[in-house]
Structure 1
Amino acid sequence: MKKFIFKTNNSWTGTILRWTIGIVFIPHGLQKTLGWFDGMGFKKTMSFFTENVHLPGMVAFTVILIEFVGSILLLLGLGTRLWALSFIGLLTGIMLTTHLENGFFMNWFGTQKGEGCQFDILAIGIVVTLLIEGGGKLSVDQWISHRNNMHKD
């Protein structure tokens, strides 16, 4: 199992995709944990998720954890496949519980009740590719995998 988590293709594909997801989601994680970018911070976000969205506390905490810690570790390329799987669950949950009811398209012009599932599908495609490819070049996963292969002899 450990071998699968850290194994990665030696290509730029994983690097570009994990940096893309990391850059897109780290501001969301910072909003939810530290209140940056006009966010609510951890305590208010937990309260909003549990009281308004009616998520169980553990699910609310997991959402925040994935968006904050997961984004940072994807940027570094540490446990890429594990975090990709986590983002697949996160994005599927958001799409099915919140965005799908608003249709397909994103709410570019503010004419819909909320966001559609277009972004979720795009982001799921990216993280599924990371699940298959791994973290790629310049990842901690690559360093760990290379180091483990050197010590096999």
Structure 2
Amino acid sequence: MKQLFATNPASITPLIARLALGIVVFPHGAQKLLGWFGGSGFEGTMGFLTGSAGLPWIVGLLVILIEFFGPLMLFLGAATRVAALGILGNFIGIVLTAHSSTGFFMNWGAEANKEEGIEYFILLFGLALIVLIAGGGKASVDAELAKNRY
């Protein structure tokens, strides 16, 4: 348990990585849960994930919760490794089920089919792994918990 919150409270690198990861994932979660940024909201997203995508309802629910609450946890640096692991697992599933067949590039050119390749996800995985390894770093709840409890 001690290792879950262990982090270097002076390190800025995990702070940058967790904020960058949170910034790029939060809008996806807000679309899915709240309908912000042109999203379908909870009901629409659950309908898509359990209907068109064919996911079990519990997996659809986890996708929505991880993409919304994971970035909030990252912003605060609270249970940072748990959030990073959830985001990493979530997006590995997304790549394997929906994006790996498209290839590397985003393919958004005029003649393309507008499907996304895996280049964005490689960057996301890199940030998630940095956070998973380093923890919350500077200005994180984890650093305060580790300092005060251990």
TM-score range, shorter chain: over 0.9
Aligned equivalents of 1:76, 1:139: Cα separation in 2: 6
**1:59 — aligned with what?**
59
How many residue pairs match? The answer is: 148
**2:124 — aligned with what?**
123
Offset at residue 113 of structure 1 (A): 4.7
Tell me, which stretches of 5 or more residues in structure 1 are unaligned? none
List, as ranges, runs of 4+ consecutive aligned residues in structure 1 with deviation greater than 3 Å: none
Q: What value does the CA root-mean-square deviation take over the aligned residues?
A: 1.1
Offset at residue 121 of structure 1 (A): 1.2
**1:148 — aligned with what?**
149
TM-score by structure 2 length? 0.94
Q: Is it true that 1:86 corresponds to 2:86 in the alignment?
A: yes
Q: Is it true that 1:4 corresponds to 2:38 in the alignment?
A: no
**CA deviation string 1:29-82 (max 9, x = no partner):** 111111111110001100110000001101000000110000111111001111
Offset at residue 6 of structure 1 (A): 1.0
Counterpart of 2:136 in structure 1: which amino acid?
A: G
Aligned equivalents of 1:41, 1:64: Cα separation in 2: 10
**1:33 — aligned with what?**
33
**CA deviation string 1:65-116 (max 9, x = no partner):** 1100001111110011111111111111111111111001123435135100
The alignment-based identity, stated in percent, is 48
TM-score by structure 1 length? 0.92
Aligned equivalents of 2:107, 2:71: Cα separation in 1: 24
Preserved CA contact (<8 Å) 1:15 1:138: yes
Aligned equivalents of 1:107, 1:64: Cα separation in 2: 26
